[in-house]
Structures are given as C-alpha cells and as structure tokens.
Chains A and B, each alone.
Chain A
Amino acid sequence: MTRAPHAGPEPAPEPQDDAGGPIFYGRRMRSALMLGTAGYPSPAALAEAARAARPAAVTVSLRREDAGARAGAAFWELVRGLGAPVLPNTAGCFTAREAVTTAQMARELFGTDWIKLEVIGRADTLAPDPFGLVEAARILCAEGFRVFPYATEDAVLAERLLEAGCQVLMPWGAPIGAGLGLANPHGLRALRRCFPDVPMVIDAGLGLPSHAAAALEMGFDAVLVNTAVARAADPARMARAFARAVEAGALGRAAGPIPPRETATPSTPVAGRPFS
C-alpha cells in the first residue's frame, strides 16, 4: 500500500503478545474463548454476554432447540446474529447414529461443516461415550466435516479420534454444568504432553474465570463455557471475566512461568546465606 506524503512516520507494528487466538482447521480464531448459547435468562441476555465475551465461536445445540423445518427459526437467527462463527453441536445425542444425523442437519441449517460432536454415554454425568464418539467421528470426518469431539482426557481415546480424522480435541474439565474446573489436572497435563501440536479446547465443567486461566496456563488452546456464564447472576459481566481470564492465561503461558519450588527464593540474595 502506498502512503500519502506528509503522513508521518510508519506506525509502530502492533505489539505481538501471543494472545492471538488458536487455529482450528486452518482458521485463526479471534480469541481463546468459545461460548455456549443455552440456558440464558433471555436471548437478549445471551446477546449481551456474547458482545462482552467476543468469543471465537458460539456453540448451539440442535437437538434441544428442535431442528428442521419446524425449528426455532427466530432463535437460529439470533445465534447467527451474535457476530461469531457458529459451531453447532450434537448435544443430547446418545448414539453415533443420532449424532451423525444431527450433524448433517446442522450442516444444512448453518451452512458450516464445523461440528462439535457430543455422544453422551451416561445421562447422569453426561460423560462422553468414547466408543460411539470414535464411530461417529470416523463417519463425519469421511463426509468432510471438521469435527470437534467432546472427549475425556484419555490419551488412547485422543489417539483414536486423531486417527479418525479429527484435528481438534475437546477434553472435558469436569462433567457438563458441574462448575468444578479442571477435575483431573494430572490427566489433562499428560494429554497435553502426549499431543503437543493438536489444538485442544477444554470443554465443560468450568465454573470460574480462574479455571479458564488455569487451562490456558496448562497449555490448552481455548476453553468453551456455557453454564458458568449463562447461569451467573450477571451473564455479561461473567462473560467479560472469562474473556480476560483466557487472555491472562495465554499471556502467562507465553511469558514463560517460573518453575514452582519447595523453598522460598528471595529476589535479593543475602551474601553468605544462600538459602535464607
């Protein structure tokens, strides 16, 4: 681009703070926060939360909101209007077959081949069914879908999902809606170490912004929250808090944290007394 004369010096480049969003299936996200759209006090409250969160994507459940021609057209319109890419999900599906059908409807309805794949194994904990998940992932990847599988932190399952063609993984933090945070940090760290280059989103179970920051500090690329924001007393304010938390976590990770240690380390050493 040519610059007009007398336009002054070249502006300084934007500072690169490594807080740019992750890349999913070749697409750079604008943030590390994904937002679910269920359970808000009203669509207006959802819209306000989405404005505050500026999420990388918004997820929307097809089963719950009654897909197809008889659908909640007004609600779809609202979700499309939130200003973020839509990641439809297959929430509420208990078999691979249901999930595949739902994904196909979602592709038609939202014109996207992105799908957050949920195959639920237990109604009480909403734990993923790893067997149905891999089966559905194989079918959908073969059909050209970009699959975001909702999984546990199990590394063997992760391996199978990657073999099936998934290029992003979504391990849970804790059961959906639990608000417990990262219930198995050791397992999650191990998963992160096993597949350092696979984009991973912590999905489900987060309750506090600090949980989201911890996930990013641990090296995960993004988090997905829904209940923690939707059911907060002030969803928009909580959305803003999560947006800042993922930014803080990503920055902290990129900044190179000091290793934890058992003893104090005075920043000003005392001569002759190395450990005092």
Chain B
Amino acid sequence: MTRFLVLGAGVAGLCAAAELAARGAPVRIVDPAGGPGPQGCSWWAGGMLAPDCEAESADPLIARLGREAADWWAARGAQVTRAGSLVVALPGDGAALDAFAARSSGWRMLDAEALAALEPDLGGRFSRALFFPDEAHLDPRAALAALRDGLAARGVEVARALDPAAPRPAATLDCRGLGARDLLPDLRGVRGEMMILRGAELRLGRPVRVLHPRHPIYVTPRAGGALMLGATQIESDWRGPARARSAHELLSVALALHPALAEAEILELGADARPAFPDNIPRLRRQGDRIHVNGLFRHGFLMAPVLARMAAEHLLDGRMPELMDHAAEN
C-alpha cells in the first residue's frame, strides 16, 4: 500500500495532505508542534486570495495558478469571503494608484461615490479606488483548522514525531518551510510583521491595500470586527519579535487609511520569516523519494492549493508538474 508522509502542518503541508487524502491516498503528517500554530509562518498570514492584485509585483504564473485557490479552500470547508478587494493611494499619491492599475488587471476604477457605496466607512476619504471584484479572502487560522479537522475526520492526525514502527513511506512530502534549509540551500527568509486590532470604529467588508512608496500595507477584516494589519517585507531570516519601527510604519500608514484605527486595541503583534526561493516563485523539488513543497513566500494561502494538487498528480498519476524544479534536481 502506498503511504505518504507529509512533514510540516503549515499551509503547504496541510493542503498537500488534504489533497492526497481526498484522492484516497493514505497519508501521515508529522509536525513537532502537533498542528498548525504560532510556530509556523502560515499562522501570521493575511489570508488574501488576490491573484489580480499580486500580478502587480509577482510573476504572472502566481496570478494564473492562484486563481484556483478560492474554490479549493471553499470546497475544503474554509469560510471564503468573495467580496473582492480594494486598493487605495494616500492623498497626493494618485500616480501610485495609476501605476498599480497599469500593472494589474481585473479591476474597476471606483470614484468616491462608488467607493462609499461599497465600503461606507471609507466614504469621503478617497477620491478614487481600484476594485478587484473577483478576489476573495479567508481567515488563515480558521482555514488551517478546517483542513486539520477535515483530515482528522478521515483519520489523518498530526503526529508530533515519526513513529519508528511505521512502514517506510513511498514518498515524503517535505513541507517544512524554512526548516528545510538543511536540504535547500537556496531558500531564504523574508521577514514579515503584522498586527491584529480590535474595537476600531471601522468596518470593512474586504481587504484594502494602501499604497505607500516604502511601507505599503493591507488591512483585512477578521471575525468579530477584528482587523488584521500587515505586513512588512524585509530580507531577513530573523524570526524574533516585531520591532517598534515596523509597528510604527504599519500603524502610521493604517491611520492614514482611517484615523479611527487609533482607538483600536492591539490584540497581537506578530512576526515570522516566510520561506522564499531567489525568484520568489514557489516550487516542488524532488530529491530521491523526497519531494519538497516550498518557497511559498507571501503567497502561502494563494499557492498552497495548486502546489498540493500538483504534488498529488505527480505522486498518484505520475504527471510532471509545471512547478517542479528540474534544474536543482539531484
């Protein structure tokens, strides 16, 4: 009997395990933490499923392959909100909005009135906004929990350690993120810092990106009126606590989105490093009977589903996935 071992219960590992389990393949998951949690960078993600917006700065394949994410998550029990997303520029920086528009597609330019109709709390604050109607968002922690529960319902639990008595797996899916640097020397960390705010007199129906030449941010709604504010992007492997400078940068731009955020409570100030390859494109990489799924960078929830599908097609159907890294095969 073919058995697959998945290392890591972050978004890459749980998606891969869910995809394999859904196709009837026996799977085991091992993660020292016993499940998704604050030890992994997925926990701190924004949860935007925004392929059109990402096309502004990411490789075109991210936008193309990321399109299947929203349906994938919805089909696996995650609560996906399909309300689109918004992009605004700070007053006096209208050129930034036009530049963003020129490098992305799938948007509609809203005037002040249309923006107020869509997001009443932003009414009167911006003369224009880009609306990407086809985008979606989810709560990453709830989505990870849904995957974990779905797997548990199929009898797939997350073990904290390898069972020495278990039969040797036919293949191992290594989804350890930065933990796999022992085998992936070209993987690097890109630090991100975020915060969760509660109690602000600001209600949003969808994620809003605020353009800024040095500190672009996004604010995305979470359950119970909470707002997640993210995220810095720093070339660093450091996984320690968020720095005051980053909190200051995030908040100063957020307050320019809406001053009501000044009265919010800071529930969490989080930080971690995302795994990324030099071109910031995620990939599968085969090393013997080990297949890495890694380098998801800032596109964890957007790209984990398609990577999971490709990994499963490779293992079960023998297909060679588009995102399989041939160059570094060894």
A and B interact physically: yes
| A43 and B237 contacting across the interface, CB-CB below 8 Å | no
> Who on chain A is nearest to B191 by CB?
A66
Q: Which residue of B lies closest to A74 (CB)?
A: B188
Say yes or no for B152: interface residue by CB 8 A criterion: no
- Given A64-B234, A66-B238, A177-B213, A75 and B278 contact (CB-CB distance below 8 Å): no
Given A43-B188, A74-B188, A177-B213, are A65 and B235 neighbors across the interface (CB < 8 Å)?
yes
Q: A71 — which chain B residues lie within 8 A by C-beta?
A: 236-238
Which residues of the partner chain A approach B189 to less than 8 Å between Cβ atoms?
A: 72, 74
Q: B329 interface residue, CB < 8 Å from A? A: no
Inside 8 A of B59's CB, which chain A residues have their CB?
Answer: 41
Partner of B234 from A43, A44, A47, A65 at Cβ < 8 Å = A65
Task: Check: A16 CB closer than 8 A to any chain B CB.
Answer: no
What total of chain A residues lie within 8 Å of the partner, measured CB to CB? 19
| A258 cross-chain contacts in B, Cβ below 8 A | none
The yes or no answer to B279 lying at the interface (CB within 8 A) is yes
Q: Contact at B57–A74, with CB atoms within 8 Å?
A: no
Please state if A41 and B58 are interface contacts (CB–CB under 8 Å): yes
Nearest CB in chain A: distance from B279 CB, A: 4
When each residue 175-204 of chain B gets 1 if its CB lies under 8 Å from chain A and 0 otherwise, what string results?
Answer: 000000000000111010000000000000
- Please pick, from B58, B213, B236, the residue contacting A70 in the complex, using a CB distance under 8 A: B236
Give chain A residues whose Cβ lies under 8 Å from the Cβ of B224.
none
A45 contacts chain B at the CB level, 8 A cutoff = yes
Contact B235 A44 (CB under 8 A): no
B280 within 8 A of A: yes
Contacts of A43 in B (CB 8 A): 188, 235, 278-280
Task: Scan residues 51-84 of chain A and give those whose CB is less than 8 A from a CB of chain B.
Answer: 64-66, 70-75, 78
User: When the two chains form their complex, are residues B278 and A66 in contact, meaning their CB atoms are under 8 A apart?
Assistant: no
| Pairwise interchain contact B236-A66, C-beta atoms closer than 8 A | yes
CA distance A42 to B59 in the complex (A): 9
**B24 CB-CB contact with A under 8 Å:** no
On whether the beta carbons of A233 and B103 are closer than 8 Å, the reply is: yes
Q: Is B240 an interface residue (CB 8 A)?
A: yes
Q: Which of chain B's residues 86-126 have a Cβ closer than 8 Å to chain A?
A: 103
Query: Complex Cα distance A177/B57, Å?
Result: 17
Contact A73-B213, Cβ < 8 Å, known A43-B278, A78-B278 = no
Q: Are A44 and B279 in contact (CB under 8 A)?
A: yes
> Is B278 in contact with A72, judged by CB distance below 8 angstroms?
no
Closest to B213 in A: A177
For the complex, give the distance between the alpha carbons of A177 and B58 in Å: 20
Contacting residues, chain B, for A70 (C-beta < 8 A):
236-238, 240
Q: Which among A41, A70, A72, A73 has the highest number of chain B CB atoms within 10 Å? A: A72
Q: Which residues of B contact A78 (CB under 8 A)?
A: 188, 278
Smallest CB–CB gap between A268 and chain B, Å?
Answer: 46
In the complex with contacts A41-B57, A43-B188, A75-B213 CB distance below 8 A: no
A252 to chain B, nearest CB (A): 30
Kindly report which residue of chain B lies nearest to residue A126, judged by CB atoms: B214
Q: Which residues of A contact B278 (CB under 8 A)?
A: 42-44, 47, 78
Q: Show 13 A/B contacts (Cβ-Cβ < 8 Å), sorted by A.
A: A41-B280, A42-B278, A42-B280, A43-B280, A47-B278, A66-B191, A66-B235, A66-B236, A72-B235, A72-B238, A73-B237, A74-B235, A75-B188
Query: Interface residues, chain B, CB within 8 Å of chain A?
Result: 57-59, 103, 187-189, 191, 213-214, 234-238, 240, 276, 278-281
- What are the 3 tightest A-B residue pairs by CB atom distance, in nearest-first order? A74-B188, A75-B235, A66-B236
Interface contacts beyond A43-B280, A70-B237, A72-B237: sample of 9 additional A-B pairs, CB < 8 Å, sorted by A = A41-B280, A43-B188, A43-B278, A65-B235, A65-B236, A66-B235, A72-B235, A74-B235, A233-B103
